[in-house]
Amino acid sequence: MISLPLLLFVLLFSALLLCPSSSDDDGDAAGDELALLSFKSSLLYQGGQSLASWNTSGHGQHCTWVGVVCGRRRRRHPHRVVKLLLRSSNLSGIISPSLGNLSFLRELDLGDNYFSGEIPPELCRLSRLQLLELSDNSIQGSIPAAIGACTKLTSLDLSHNQLRGMIPREIGASLKHLSNLYLHKNGLSGEIPSALGNLTSLQEFDLSFNRLSGAIPSSLGQLSSLLNMNLGQNNLSGMIPNSIWNLSSLRAFCVSENKLGGMIPTNAFKTLHLLEVIYMGTNRFHGKIPASVANASHLTRLQIDGNLFSGIITSGFGRLRNLTELYLWRNLFQTREQEDWGFISDLTNCSKLQTLNLGENNLGGVLPNSFSNLSTSLSFLALHLNKITGSIPQDIGNLIGLQHLYLCNNNFRGSLPSSLGRLKNLGILLAYENNLSGSIPLAIGNLTELNILLLGTNKFSGWIPYTLSNLTNLLSLGLSTNNLSGPIPSELFNIQTLSIMINVSKNNLEGSIPQEIGHLKNLVEFHAESNRLSGKIPNTLGDCQLLRHLYLQNNLLSGSIPSALGQLKGLETLDLSSNNLSGQIPTSLADITMLHSLNLSFNSFVGEVPTM
Ligand SMILES: *[C@@H]1O[C@H](CO)[C@@H](O)[C@H](O)[C@H]1NC(C)=O
Ligand SMILES: *[C@@H]1O[C@H](CO)[C@@H](O)[C@H](O)[C@H]1NC(C)=O
Ligand SMILES: *[C@@H]1O[C@H](CO)[C@@H](O)[C@H](O)[C@H]1NC(C)=O
Ligand SMILES: *[C@@H]1O[C@H](CO)[C@@H](O)[C@H](O)[C@H]1NC(C)=O
Ligand SMILES: *[C@@H]1O[C@H](CO)[C@@H](O)[C@H](O)[C@H]1NC(C)=O
Ligand SMILES: *[C@@H]1O[C@H](CO)[C@@H](O)[C@H](O)[C@H]1NC(C)=O
Ligand SMILES: *[C@@H]1O[C@H](CO)[C@@H](O)[C@H](O)[C@H]1NC(C)=O
Ligand SMILES: *[C@@H]1O[C@H](CO)[C@@H](O)[C@H](O)[C@H]1NC(C)=O
Ligand SMILES: *[C@@H]1O[C@H](CO)[C@@H](O)[C@H](O)[C@H]1NC(C)=O
Ligand SMILES: *[C@@H]1O[C@H](CO)[C@@H](O)[C@H](O)[C@H]1NC(C)=O
Ligand SMILES: *[C@@H]1O[C@H](CO)[C@@H](O)[C@H](O)[C@H]1NC(C)=O
Ligand SMILES: *[C@@H]1O[C@H](CO)[C@@H](O)[C@H](O)[C@H]1NC(C)=O
């Protein structure tokens, strides 16, 4: 039995040991002022305008300076600095070691400035420090191991700097109260210290965008208060330790862009039922999507693209009422039987769905009509690079929120549904490399927000619809390699925005190249080769001042080459071969210094070929 006086003595003695008295005694208010002035003098231009108020002195005047907060007046320690808050203050220079003398400091915020140099180890003398915030600077060197002495730290933010070296294990071993640890966007390397698993108060944990390697320590599964874990954009390998699937408070889990592999256990998300975002993209995970994903009923984003996931896509998404983004592209998912597409009718329950990316998988068979029952908030739908056959659902026009529709590189048949004309917000329509046929619907002229329309390499026939002239925001038009006939509609060249490319090559187009092409002052590429175009090359082509590539070969063009082509100072490619052109080759072509590919063969020119 210990006597009361002895117990008191023991408590007092240990309190003295815990609070090293040295820093309390040899620092005082005047010392704080000196330390601040020394900090100021180590800054470029003495901190400039931001620290202009740091000009008075004595009698605790420093407590009135901008960014300086002193403790409440107390007899023993008046005028001691407890906070130094100089975020976004346009400060450059080094962080002076003198700050280590502010022994009563609890919060140091120098974030979003231009500090360079290293973290002074003297800061680690600040045993009362709870918040250390140095993010968004250009701080170099490594994280001092002595940081472990700041045992009261609850928030450590060193993100967005140029720190190198390993994460000191002392952070895990000593900073028991840490609830936020932000070390992202640095150049940290080596392994994640398993000691970090001892930070049981940790809620926010971000190590993303570093060069960390090795495995994820299974000790991280002890971080039972964790809300956000971000280990993305590193070089981590191995499997996700099973203990991680025990982190029941987790809201966000990100390990994208690493070299992680293995399968995700079927039950993985049963315990992690509070997850709102899962980012596991660009790794080497394989196996199926775990059925338990349906248990994560708060899920808003699931990103598992760029892995080796296979099999049939899980049903059960229908329970995820808040799902907005589903990125499954670039995997090995399959659909063979019609019921394998069942997940789509499930997804029709997700009324907030905005993004569905299923591109670059092994999806086959025919799209179910339930596609047209997906949410009208869907703005991004990608099915490109699969093996899908059959026709595009007739009612696809129901998805009136669509801005991007990628159907290219499949085996779609039949015609483009004219309901597409209802997609008033569509900006990009990619349907090239399919087996689509019939005529291009007139209703496409309703898509006035369209920027990019690529329908090449299909079996479209009929005329190029004159309604295209209503696409007044079009930047790029691709209709190549189809069976289109009739003339190139001259109205097309009233679309002032057409700039990236017009490609109508490899069709059966007839008639002449309209004079109006000269209206397209910003056009860079014009492909009209391999058609049956006749008549003269319009000299207005000389007005297309930004033209770099002009392909008109394999047509029936006649007359001579207009010398106006010599005005196209940026022209790099000119192919007029295999036409019925004649006359002299204009000497002006020799003025085009950029021209490095010129083909005039199989025509009937006379006279000299100008020297280029
Ligand atoms: C900081 O304190 C040390 C003693 O602990 C003293 O030698 C030094 O001069 C002080 N520096 C400043 C800038 O106050
Ligand atoms: C100190 O700076 C403040 C604010 O910039 C200014 O108003 C004041 O006149 C200055 N005082 C002295 C003594 O220079
Ligand atoms: C930031 O500081 C630099 C000098 O370091 C100065 O030239 C510049 O005007 C300052 N910018 C602002 C917004 O105060
Ligand atoms: C974690 O803490 C326990 C007890 O506090 C200790 O025994 C263990 O060594 C610590 N682990 C690491 C990796 O620091
Ligand atoms: C990534 O980690 C592997 C070991 O898993 C290592 O061989 C490689 O050098 C690391 N790459 C980089 C860029 O750090
Ligand atoms: C998960 O937590 C349970 C209970 O807390 C424990 O029994 C089990 O060992 C943990 N699993 C892992 C892999 O850490
Ligand atoms: C998890 O989901 C399955 C199937 O979706 C369901 O049967 C089960 O009750 C769910 N479990 C929990 C704990 O929510
Ligand atoms: C869905 O989101 C709404 C609004 O953000 C929120 O109030 C609701 O709790 C969420 N529901 C689930 C199941 O996460
Ligand atoms: C769709 O949501 C309702 C609840 O609103 C639910 O009863 C139903 O099971 C869900 N359907 C699917 C396929 O998940
Ligand atoms: C689409 O939804 C409507 C109304 O909810 C329903 O009648 C129809 O059967 C659904 N169609 C498909 C193909 O799921
Ligand atoms: C689309 O355009 C066609 C013909 O250009 C027109 O008849 C039709 O009403 C339009 N449809 C919608 C939904 O705007
Ligand atoms: C183009 O749009 C205008 C109205 O915006 C409409 O009056 C006209 O009929 C449309 N023309 C074509 C060819 O679709």
Q: What is the pLDDT of residues 238-251, one digit of tens each?
A: 999 999 999 999 99
Which one, of 375, 358, 246, 245, lies nearest residue 305 by Cα? 358
pLDDT in tens, 187-198: 999 999 999 999
Ligand 9 test: best mutation among 349, 352, 373, most atoms within 8 Å of CB?
349
Q: What pLDDT, in 10s, does the model give residues 553-598?
A: 999 999 999 999 999 999 999 999 999 999 989 988 888 889 989 9
Paired sense of beta strands 81-85 and 68-70, if any: antiparallel
Query: What's the confidence (pLDDT) of residue 315?
Result: 79
Evaluate if residue 2 carries a pLDDT over 50: no
SS3 label, residue 111: coil
Of ligand 3's listed atoms, the one at least distance from the Cα of 44 is 5
Query: How many independent structural domains does the chain possess?
Result: 2
For ligand 4, which residues put their CB under 6 angstroms from it? 172-173, 194-195, 198
Ligand closest to CA 33: 1
Token pair in block for residue 361: 């998988």
Domain end call among 81, 106, 140: 140
Does residue 520 sit within a domain?
Answer: yes
In the listed set 140, 172, 201, which residue is the last one of a domain according to the structure?
140
* 581 inside domain: yes
Among 596, 601, 569, 573, smallest CA distance to 585 is for 601
Q: In testing the pocket of ligand 4, which one of 178, 196, 198 has its CB within 8 Å of the most ligand atoms?
A: 198
Ligand nearest to the CA of 99: 1
Give the ligand at the shortest distance from the Cα of 222: 6
The rounded Å distance from CA 53 to ligand 2 centre is: 6
Nearest to 134 by CA among 154, 171, 107, 167: 107
Predicted local distance difference test score (pLDDT) of residue 56: 84
Give the per-residue SS3 of 156-206.
EECCCCCCEECCCCHHHHHCCCCCEEECCCCEEEECCCHHHHHCCCCCEEE
10: DSSP letter: H
Integer distance in angstroms from the first to the last C-alpha of the chain? 106
Pocket test for ligand 11, best of 446, 468, 469, 471 (most atoms within 8 A of CB): 446
Give pLDDT, residue 74: 62
Nearest ligand 8 atom, CA 297: 13
- Site residues for ligand 1, CB cut-off 6 Å: 26, 31, 34-35, 38, 98, 101
Residue 573 resides in a domain = yes
The contacts of residue 484 (CB under 8 Å, 6+ apart) are: 440, 460, 461, 462, 463, 464, 504, 507, 508, 509
Is the model's pLDDT at 526 over the cut of 90? yes
What is the tens place of the pLDDT at every residue in 340-359? 999 999 999 999 999 999 99
pLDDT tops 60 at residue 252 = yes
Confidence label for 285 from pLDDT (cuts 50, 70 and 90):
very high
Mean pLDDT of the chain: 92
- The percentage of the chain sitting over the pLDDT mark of 90, rounded to a whole number, equals 86
Q: Residue 395: is its pLDDT beyond 90?
A: yes
Going along 524-591, which residue ranges are E strands?
Answer: 525-527, 532-536, 549-551, 556-559, 573-575, 580-584
Q: Tell me, yes or no, whether 124 lies in a domain.
A: yes
The structure's pTM equals: 0.88
Q: What is the pLDDT of residue 60?
A: 82
User: Which pLDDT score, from 0 to 100, does residue 14 have?
Assistant: 42
Q: Is residue 172 part of a domain?
A: no
The stretch 209-232 carries a mean pLDDT of 97
User: Per-residue pLDDT for 546 more than 70?
Assistant: yes
Token pair 């993209």 in the structure block, residue: 281
Q: 10 falls in which pLDDT band (50, 70, 90)?
A: very low
- Distance in angstroms (rounded) separating the CA atoms of residues 558 and 580: 5
* Mean pLDDT of the region 29-39: 91
Residue 519 sits in a domain whose CATH number is 3.80.10.10
Reply yes or no on whether the pLDDT at 6 is more than 90. no
What's the pLDDT band for 336 if we cut at 50, 70, 90? confident
User: 56: CA distance to ligand 2 center in Å?
Assistant: 8
Residue 72 is predicted with a pLDDT of: 77
Per-residue CA distances from 575 to 379, 505, 529, 530 (Å): 40, 13, 9, 11
Average pLDDT over residues 154-162: 98
Give pLDDT tens digits for 462-517.
Answer: 999 999 999 999 999 999 999 999 999 999 999 999 999 999 999 999 999 999 99
In a domain, 55, yes or no: yes
Only one residue has tokens 């964790």, namely: 226
| Residues 364-394 pLDDT 10s | 999 999 999 999 999 999 999 999 999 999 9
Residue 190 lies in a domain: no
Q: Which of 140, 175, 205 represents a domain boundary (last residue)?
A: 140
**Distance of CA 236 from the midpoint of ligand 5 (Å):** 8
Domain around 114 = 31-140
120-129, 332-341, 446-455, 589-598, range with the lowest pLDDT: 589-598
At residue 59, the pLDDT reads 81
Q: How many residues does the chain have?
A: 612
**123 located within any domain:** yes
